[in-house]
Amino acid sequence: MPPTPTARLRVVAATPISEDLIARVIELEPRIDFIRDQTLLPPMRHPGDHSGDPAFTRTPEQQEAFEKLVDSAEVLYGLPDDKPSELARTVAANPGLRWVQTMPAGGGAQVKAANLDDDALNRIAFSTTAGVHAVPLAEWSVFGLLAGAKTLPKLLDRQRNKVWENRWTMGLISEQRILIVGLGSIGKETAKKLTALGATVIGTSRHETSLDNVAEIIHPDRMLQHLADIDGIVVTLPGTAETENLLGPDFFAAVKPGTTLVNVGRGTVIDETALLDALNDGRIGFAALDVVAQEPLDEGSPLWTHPHVLISPHTAALNQAEDRLIAELFARNATLWLEAEAKSAEANGTNADNPGATLINRVNTVEFY
């Protein structure tokens, strides 16, 4: 039986959020009852620290109180303790749970890792923060491309060794053709910034046929045919079964020698063995990686010490505005949810159990992105 539409939403904070941001959410959507107990939430060490300080612990009594709170939620703000296993426990214990706002842009991976059954996936809507991170990740992508074009590894090596030698040529982004693998919010913002620098942007999409700032859109199945003319590649794709190792041996065999590669999507999109082979023979001249297949990157990985690789510990998206932007996105989604419920009620309950269909960034629970 579908739940009865309500005029308010009972939201429980399952992940750290400040009182100032809770007040901001309620200011934007006053019909939210935002339930929290700050003594039960770990302190944040920095912006975007949704799991909080790992040194934080709860007494058995506090853990019981925390679980009682999240198990009473109609809506969860974040996964409990930012853990898929705790999401699974809460879903099993809380038949009234209807919507979960995940904190990462790739929150679908957390939902997949919870191994929820079909009934739970049909009952509960999940949304991500996709788009919140578009600007910082686009900036980092441009930074990575510039680092490759301006021979950052060679510059650092010469400076480290105090060598002042003959000058050499550098690349011009304004003369380059850049392939963006994935034209979601990050890809579109990256295309905008690259176009402002004079680059020619090519993008991949299964659905789009034309976009501002993108000179040509190709189907992902046709990427290999275009790589010989590409100077730089930016990967923004989520990690799904369909994208796993999408950039593999055939891909790297087709690139132009000296190509710059930037990854701000998910590390699983790139076959790292194939990438290392391409770095070692010069087909990839420089790789800027904010993500890797297994995080944290193993100490024994040759990516750490490769002279033509820049590693960022999945931190390129973090900025002072992130938590506020997530909170404001959540408030917009809450308004959409409540408006959909109201319309359904006016239509005698039609689709009253599916206000999640209107959510921004709703997770596809088949591909989990």
Contact 36, 15 (CB under 8 A): no
Annotated active-site residue 207? The verdict is: no
Q: Rounded to an integer, what distance in angstroms lies between the CA atom of residue 144 and that of residue 152?
A: 10
Q: Which are the contacts of 262, defined by CB distance < 8 A and separation ≥ 6?
A: 140, 141, 144, 145, 148, 232, 233, 234, 235, 287, 288, 289
**The one catalytic residue among 50, 266, 283, 308:** 266
Contact 256, 280 (CB under 8 A): no
Q: Sheet containing 32-35: give its strands across.
A: 32-35, 9-13, 75-77, 99-101, 125-127
Q: Rounded to an integer, what distance in angstroms lies between the CA atom of residue 30 and that of residue 14?
A: 20
Q: Rounded to an integer, what distance in angstroms lies between the CA atom of residue 132 and that of residue 67?
A: 29
Annotated active-site residue 167? The verdict is: no
Cβ-count burial 187-219 (b if 16+ within 10 Å, e if not): bbbbbbbbbeeebbbbbbbeeeeebebbeebee
**The one catalytic residue among 50, 133, 308, 314:** 314
Q: Rounded to an integer, what distance in angstroms lies between the CA atom of residue 27 and that of residue 32?
A: 9
Q: Rounded to an integer, what distance in angstroms lies between the CA atom of residue 85 and that of residue 366?
A: 19
Q: Rounded to an integer, what distance in angstroms lies between the CA atom of residue 176 and that of residue 263?
A: 18
Active site positions, annotated: 266, 314
